[in-house]
């Protein structure tokens, strides 16, 4: 597969700054692929670069989920008929988007996919004007995400271990539910007292938690997981099952599929979009089926 004009956006701060040391490796691996490279300099820069990528056929994000999130938001500013294809070389901490797209963990193998893979359309979520490629979640999960951001700096942990450490802290220190009003698919709002509401395209979040194990990223609908309030012993007992995706039939867990969700609260509640923390009292979430084209491994 010929990539055409290719822009490679590298986030040197991904995975505690370890990606900076990988830049020469990335360039060497990409040696046979004609491309332009640019290194991000600040938060939001990847989105700016992708938005300005006029004339490019492919834009490659080198980093983790945050980098992909920024790049995709930049690409979504392009008209659909001229929107560059998204490629990924995963060098981040969580890499849930890598799992969704089926990109290999090893950098050399991911470059091979970039040069020989196929193009496939994936769904994109939109929440309060921000696009997301993998997940939105409100409630306890966003508290965990915020704590994970802190722990990422202070402990240098990554992936599932980072998220699990943050989760245990929140479970022991700040386990509380949220009264909200939720409308699914344009219907009348219903009041809920919920611990978590996760709205996803991908199967995992938090570096590998199988929160919606049956999700399909190109079926045009969100998979939604809601969990009722739990005591600390109840939450700890269920935690291993959530990690493994074996929680979906438990009584406090409610799984459903929708194309739009509106969440209202009397006061701002924490949420996360692809790992980026928000704090608002209303979240309007809509599905954009097949809105982004990505490079993925060829089917066997």
Note the pLDDT of residue 190: 97
Task: Using the predicted structure, report yes or no on whether residue 158 has a pLDDT greater than 70.
Answer: no
Q: How far apart are the first and last CA of the chain?
A: 16
> Which among 281, 278, 249 is positioned nearest to 265, based on CA atoms?
281
The pLDDT of 228-255, averaged and rounded, is: 94
Per-residue tokens: 160: 């599932």
- H helix intervals, 77-158: 96-101, 107-116, 140-154
Burial of 252 (0-12, 13-18, 19+ CB in 10 A): middle
Task: Using the predicted structure, report yes or no on whether residue 16 has a pLDDT greater than 90.
Answer: no
* Cα 205 from Cα 144, distance rounded (Å): 12
Per-residue tokens: 82: 């001229």
* Cα 175 from Cα 23, distance rounded (Å): 41
CB count within 10 Å of CB 274 equals 28
What percent of the chain stands above pLDDT 70?
Answer: 98
User: pLDDT category, 164, cuts 50, 70, 90?
Assistant: confident
Note the pLDDT of residue 36: 96
DSSP state of 128: T
Q: Does the CA dihedral 127-132-135-141 come out positive or negative?
A: negative
CATH of domain 6-116: 3.40.50.10330
Q: What is the pLDDT of residues 67-93, one digit of tens each?
A: 999 999 999 999 999 999 999 999 988
Q: What is the pLDDT of residues 126-151, one digit of tens each?
A: 999 999 999 999 998 888 877 877 77
Start-end ranges of CATH 3.40.50.10330 in the chain?
Answer: 6-116
Task: Using the predicted structure, report yes or no on whether residue 1 has a pLDDT greater than 70.
Answer: no
The pLDDT of 266-279, averaged and rounded, is: 90
The pLDDT of 12-26, averaged and rounded, is: 91
User: pLDDT category, 276, cuts 50, 70, 90?
Assistant: confident
Note the pLDDT of residue 34: 93
Start-end ranges of CATH 2.60.200.40 in the chain?
Answer: 135-289
Q: Is 134 in contact with 267 (CB distance < 8 Å)? A: no
> Which among 196, 66, 181 is positioned nearest to 141, based on CA atoms?
196
Q: What is the pLDDT of residues 43-56, one digit of tens each?
A: 999 999 999 999 99
The pLDDT mean for the chain works out to 93
Note the pLDDT of residue 45: 98
Taking domain 135-289, whether its CATH number is 2.60.200.40 is answered by: yes
Q: Going by DSSP bridges, is the β-strand pair 6-10/36-39 parallel, antiparallel, or unpaired?
A: parallel
Q: Is 273 in contact with 294 (CB distance < 8 Å)? A: no
Q: Going by DSSP bridges, is the β-strand pair 58-63/6-10 parallel, antiparallel, or unpaired?
A: parallel
Note the pLDDT of residue 220: 98
Note the pLDDT of residue 300: 75
């Amino acid at each position: 597969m010929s990539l055409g004009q290719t822009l490679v956006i590298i986030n040197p701060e991904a995975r505690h700054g370890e990606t900076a040391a990988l830049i020469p490796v990335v360039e060497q691996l990409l040696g046979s692929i004609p491309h332009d490279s640019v290194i991000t300099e600040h938060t939001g820069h990847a989105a700016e670069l992708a938005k300005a990528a006029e004339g490019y056929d492919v834009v490659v994000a080198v980093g983790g989920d945050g980098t992909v999130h920024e790049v995709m938001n930049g690409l979504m500013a392009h008209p659909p008929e001229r929107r560059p294809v998204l490629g990924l070389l995963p060098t981040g901490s969580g890499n849930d988007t890598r799992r969704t797209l089926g990109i290999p963990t090893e950098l050399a193998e991911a470059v091979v996919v970039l040069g020989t893979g196929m193009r496939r359309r994936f769904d994109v979520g939109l929440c309060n004007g921000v696009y997301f490629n993998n997940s939105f979640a409100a409630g306890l999960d966003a508290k965990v995400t915020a704590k994970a951001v802190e722990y990422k700096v202070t402990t240098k942990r990554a992936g599932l271990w980072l998220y699990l450490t943050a989760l245990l802290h929140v479970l022991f220190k700040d386990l509380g539910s949220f009264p909200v009003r939720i409308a699914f698919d344009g219907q009348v709002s219903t009041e809920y007292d919920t611990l978590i509401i996760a709205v996803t395209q991908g199967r995992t979040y938090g570096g590998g938690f199988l929160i919606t194990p049956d999700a399909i990223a190109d079926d045009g609908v969100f998979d939604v997981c809601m969990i009722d309030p739990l005591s600390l012993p109840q939450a700890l007992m269920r935690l291993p099952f959530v990690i493994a995706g074996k929680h979906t039939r438990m009584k406090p867990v409610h799984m459903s599929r929708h194309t739009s969700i509106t969440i209202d609260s009397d006061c701002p509640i924490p949420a996360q979009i692809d790992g980026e923390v928000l704090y608002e009292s209303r979240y309007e979430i809509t599905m954009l089926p097949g809105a982004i084209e990505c490079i993925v491994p060829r089917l066997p």
